[in-house]
Chains A and B, each alone.
Chain A
Amino acid sequence: MNQEAMLKPALVGGVALGVLSALPVVSAVNCLCCAWVIGGGILAANLYVKASPITVTLGRGVALGLLTGVIGAIVDTVFSVPLHMVLAGMGMGIAEQLREALGQVPNLPPETRDAVYSILSGEGSVGLLFIVLGGLIKLLIYGPMAMIGGAIGVAIFEKRSPGSGSAQAPPPPRASYEELPSPPPPPDGSRERGE
């Protein structure tokens, strides 16, 4: 199994976790220790173990989970853009939520509050800025969490013993110097001349 073989399971797991984590109500399941993210890693590991002709190591599960988490964070962020536009149209955008949250902070200096409000006045750009920042934070969270999912998935679904499978068969032992055939004699009569 090469690196390309990891891409398909990682894409399936990543898209699944990204879409489920972006949907407004369904994403609440992530409150259970990033259940969708860990689940995406487990799903990718399941698909990879099924497709692999050789035993999948736990380390490979971690790599697969990392790739799944990165794909999931990108999918989640991309899905957040139309969602943000819909919510902003309904007056429930990120800028409105931030204004509301800032209003609840009691000891924020007035100049800081004014500065943040002036930034928030640029509606669309603020929303996109926070989506990009949120995407970076998701990348930091989803990567390790999906890694955990990948490792758990391999631990659960890989039932073959380490080293089984054709690709991991041991190479034939190297012949020792004694077993090597003797070199052919030189084509000319140098041996006779030497003697």
Chain B
Amino acid sequence: MQPPPFPSDLSVPAARTARLAVTAFWGLLCLALLAPPLLAAAGQSFLARLAYAFFSPVCHQISARSFSLAGAGWAVCHRCSGIYIGSFLSCFVPAAWLARGAYSRNRRLWLAAACLPLLADVLLAALGLWSGSAPVRFGTGLLAGAAVNVVVLPAVVEFVLETRRTVLMAQVPENQGDPI
């Protein structure tokens, strides 16, 4: 039986690189949220429009429901901003905690519990039973994003280690055994 490669194999450079890559991905995405208002403030309205267009497939971008900077809205709404920032912040959770969460028997329960406030906020607002507010939308997004990334980060690390293992196994002759 193979033990889960995360976090026990974090000593493997590939695992550290994968974790760093995921952290960099979320970090860059969080910085990119600020790009459109900053570009607009710098007078680069065409580039600002392009940046808004890049995020338009994943968010409604309603300005009344987005944080603003220098008089212009962020690239995505309060809720999406919360999800991205929560995902980024959860990359700094210690590896042992991440593993405990990702490989826990109750992971579907706590994952559902963390996403439930966000879903309730969306559904109640859609039904007209709840108007919501920016801190609630941001907070529920932050919680859901952090919880989802607790599963996604170890999953990506595991994917990288599995792929690396497959590649190395293909390179080594059978009689030399497991190269890792």
Contact A155 B151, beta carbon cutoff 8 Å: yes
Q: How far is the CB of A79 from chain B (nearest CB, A)?
A: 15
A101: B residues at CB distance < 8 A: 49
Q: A148-B148, A168-B2 are in contact. Are A61 and B155 (CB under 8 A)?
A: yes
Min Cβ gap B123→A in Å is 11
Which residue on chain B has the smallest CB distance to residue A31? Answer: B60
The CB with the most chain B CB atoms within 10 A, among A105, A141, A147, A155, is that of A155
Q: Does A43 reach chain B (CB closer than 8 Å)?
A: no
**Smallest CB–CB gap between A169 and chain B, Å?**
8
Q: Please, which residues of chain B bring their CB within 8 A of the CB of A170?
A: 1
Q: Would you call B151 and A152 a contact (CB within 8 A)? A: yes
B161 to chain A, nearest CB (A): 7
Instruction: Tell whether A156 pairs with B154 under 8 Å between CB atoms, given A62-B159, A163-B1.
Output: no
Evaluate contact between A34 and B151: CB separation under 8 angstroms: no
Closest A residue, CB atoms, query B43: A107
> Which of A34, A59, A61 contacts B58, CB < 8 Å?
A34
Which residue of B has the minimal Cβ distance to A144? B25
Looking at the assembled complex, report how far the CB atom of B30 sits from the nearest CB atom of chain A, in whole angstroms.
Answer: 15
Binds A, one of B66-74, B89-97, B101-109, B129-137: B101-109
Instruction: Write the chain A residue with the least CB distance to B62.
Output: A31
- By the criterion CB–CB under 8 Å, are A107 and B45 in contact? yes
Give chain B's interface residue range (CB within 8 Å of chain A): 35 or more
Interface size class on chain A is 35 or more
- The tally of CB-CB contacts under 8 A between chains A and B is 94
Are B57 and A34 in touch, CB under 8 angstroms?
yes
When C-beta atoms are compared, the residue in chain B nearest to A38 turns out to be B148
State the CA gap A33–B83 with chains docked (Å). Answer: 9
Interface residues of A (CB under 8 A from B): 30-34, 57-63, 101, 105-108, 137-138, 141, 144-145, 147-148, 150-152, 154-156, 161-163, 168-170
Q: 10 closest Cβ contacts across the A-B interface?
A: A59-B158, A163-B1, A58-B155, A151-B155, A62-B159, A59-B159, A59-B162, A31-B60, A155-B151, A156-B108
A-B contacts, 22 listed (Cβ < 8 Å): A33-B59, A57-B162, A58-B102, A58-B154, A58-B155, A58-B159, A59-B156, A59-B157, A59-B161, A60-B159, A62-B158, A108-B46, A141-B58, A147-B152, A147-B156, A148-B152, A151-B151, A151-B156, A154-B155, A155-B151, A162-B3, A163-B1
Residues of B within 8 A of A (CB): 1-5, 25, 43, 45-46, 49, 54, 57-60, 79-80, 83, 102-103, 105, 107-108, 111, 122, 148, 151-152, 154-163
